[in-house]
Amino acid sequence: MTTALTPTPPQRHHDHQPGTHENTRENTPESTREHRHARRFGLPIATALVMGNIIGGGIFLLPASVAPYGTISLVAFAVLTVGAIALALVFGRLAQRHPRTGGPYVYAREAFGDFAGFLAAWSYWITTWVSNAALAVAAVGYLDVLIPVHHSTAATITAALCLQWLPALANLAGTRYVGAVQLVATVLKFVPLLLVAVGGLFFFDSGNLGPFQGSDSGALGAVSASAAILLFSYLGVESAAVSAGEVRDPERNVGRATILGTLGAAAIYLLGTLSVFGTVAHDKLVTSSAPFSDAVNAMFGGSWGGTAVACMALVSMVGALNGWTLLSAQTPYAAARDGLFPKAFARKKRGVPTVGVLVTVVLASLLTVYNYTAGSGGVFEILVLVTTFTATVPYLLSTAAQIYFLASGQTDRVHRGRLVRDALLAALAFGFSMWLVAGSGYAAVYQGVLFLFAGVLVYAWMSARKERAARR
């Protein structure tokens, strides 16, 4: 793909040279010593990172969650897919212009300055570690099918912490091992998922579909309500852009990986949900707690589906935790290089920002322990919804940055046809991001704004330190 704007040096932040750290990092003695452990991702692993982060454990619950709204929820899926692809295309364009680690943070800072960049980094960081805690708690539920742990609170907490720390240790071992784990996890989980998504079509019975519209809220209300449930499932389209500094030939591969990963995840979502709808009777699906297990049982008979799906879910969630742990450290790393996060977050070993990984896994672990010991299921669910809101803040800033880059481009360096196309994509992605905010709900937006305001205090402190250092 070719970008609408010819890449030019930034004109707003002269104290900040894009790409300097990333381009010289490989020539330092430290990077030479760590070359065996720090390896850049190629297109397959970058695509696996995107798909693995988009598809966590939600796919195993989504069909039952949207079944009460009827098959009209497939329309919501289609609308969300279009929005996610538009967002993916925008990230691909932005990565071509700014192929550096940090993704949304880099784009927001280049367009609107330090404060916007910090808000993107801060909100994205909150998203990653809260999501990691949620994934670990959900994974324990599937682990309990294989190894009963819920009989003991201590055993449950231990299992959840192990599920968080094992991917963290893989990250600390180096990007070489992160990529290997991500590729293996993606392959292992997509083989059985494709079996259900594609194989289920051969057992499809239209009599199982139930009503097209199962609620009394009208077609638009049903689409919006089911979309609100499905919104969280598409977070992660920015994965390759956030890790652009670790991707080989990022100007080319980040955009491709983002599009391929999003399309692959969308295909799995749509086919999987459609297959489950057509293999499990609607009245049973509405009350199902394991819809993919029920689909496998309906396809092949027996009761082994629950165990098989539990294994799939665990592999999927561990793979997602592995990828999200890497992303959780990359954005603070990029911000720390520019003096907007503590300097410790900018330290790398074996290609991985180790402090970011450790701080993130510690925060996620504390939240997990709090969830189990305080019995705060309702509070925890609100925090999970907060991640939908906090993730859209960098989305909105990134799409706004793309609009800024297009609108402020020099007319003699902009291809008019591509300008119109990219502007339409950016506008569509911005609208999609606003829909994500609306779908996250009033309580989540309220809590999310509080998180953002807490970050403003951190920004004030870091900016003051940066200013004092500049005067010396």
| Segment 427-454, tens digit of pLDDT | 998 988 888 787 777 877 888 888 888 8
Rounded average pLDDT over 6-24 = 38
Which pLDDT value is given to residue 31? 43
| Segment 210-238, tens digit of pLDDT | 778 776 767 777 787 777 777 767 777 77
Which pLDDT value is given to residue 340? 84
| Segment 136-146, tens digit of pLDDT | 887 787 787 77
pLDDT category of residue 381 using cuts at 50, 70 and 90: low
| Segment 78-125, tens digit of pLDDT | 888 888 888 888 887 887 777 776 778 888 998 899 999 999 889 888
* HSE-CB for 389 with a 13 A CA cutoff: 20
pLDDT of 323 > 80? The answer is: no
DSSP code of 342? -
Q: Which one is predicted more confidently, 421 or 374?
A: 421
- 256, 262, 268, 271: CA torsion to nearest 10: -110
Which pLDDT value is given to residue 56? 67
| Segment 148-205, tens digit of pLDDT | 777 777 888 888 898 889 888 877 776 565 666 666 666 666 777 777 888 888 888 8
User: Mapping DSSP to helix (H, G, I), strand (E, B) and coil, where does residue 281 land?
Assistant: coil
| Segment 48-60, tens digit of pLDDT | 777 766 776 667 7
pLDDT, mean over the chain: 76
Residue 83: closest CA among 330, 368, 438: 438
Phi, psi angle pair for 159, to nearest 5° = -65, -45
Q: Which one is predicted more confidently, 21 or 284?
A: 284
DSSP secondary structure string for all residues of 289-323: S-HHHHHHHHHH-SSTHHHHHHHHHHHHHHHHHHH
pLDDT of 32 > 70? The answer is: no
pLDDT of 410 > 50? The answer is: no
DSSP code of 209? S
Between the alpha carbon of residue 60 and those of residues 141, 306, 405, the distances in Å are: 12, 11, 39
pLDDT category of residue 8 using cuts at 50, 70 and 90: very low
